[in-house]
Amino acid sequence: MQARMQPPARAKGERAARREGRKAMTTDVTISERAAKKIGQILKTEPSGSMLRLSVMGGGCSGFQYKFDVESAKADDDVTIERDGVTMLVDQVSLQFLAGSEIDFVDDLIGASFKVNNPRAKASCGCGTSFSL
């Protein structure tokens, strides 16, 4: 099942942006099957209706860092990304940095963690939690 992204009601779509003569930015963020499964496992231990939030903050060794939190409420300007019955929230500011990204879950020798495959990142740290544009 493909992840669906639902923009807030007041967001302009790509067609509207083209009509206005601006280049439309791809804002699609997807969740891999592995990530959806892990998000579901995490949210089962949380109160009903909880969602995972992904945000981008200044900091980290490369300039920006990813932050994951569990939230119980959706803000008015949040974008919801759904896959296999789980919901992830992304705020509008973070969405600019995450456009075209895939959220995955990896379990390797370093440890288990969510990995953001971000095509906009020009550089990232060794552990993958921070990046620069």
Instruction: Render pLDDT for 77-99 as a digit per residue (tens, 0 to 9).
Output: 999 999 999 999 999 999 988 98
What is the total residue count of the chain? 133
pTM: 0.72
Name the residue with higher pLDDT: 114 or 11: 114
What is the per-residue pLDDT for 55?
93
Tally the C-alpha atoms within 13 A of residue 109's C-alpha that lie toward its C-beta. Answer: 0
Q: What is the residue extent of each domain of the chain?
A: 26-132
pLDDT at 125: 55
Amino acid code (one letter) for 102: E
Average confidence (pLDDT) over 121-127: 62
Q: What is the mean pLDDT of residues 117-129?
A: 68
Query: What stretches of the chain show up as alpha helix (H) in DSSP?
Result: 14-19, 33-44, 92-98
Q: Is the pLDDT of residue 18 over 80?
A: no
Tell me the C-alpha distance between 48 and 26, whole Å: 32
The answer, yes or no, to whether residue 12 has pLDDT greater than 50, is no
Number of H helices, E strands in the chain: 3, 10
Confidence at residue 131, expressed as pLDDT on a 0 to 100 scale: 53
- From 27, 17, 39, 20, select the one nearest 84 (Cα to Cα): 39
Q: What is the pLDDT of residues 28-73, one digit of tens each?
A: 899 999 999 999 999 999 999 999 999 998 876 667 888 999 999 9
Residue 16 backbone phi and psi in degrees, to 5: -65, -40
Lowest mean pLDDT, pick from 3-17, 53-67, 70-84, 113-127:
3-17
- For the domain with range 26-132, which CATH number is right: 3.30.300.30, 3.30.450.60, 2.60.300.12, 1.10.10.10? 2.60.300.12
* The pLDDT value given to residue 7: 46
CA within 13 Å, CB half, 83? 21
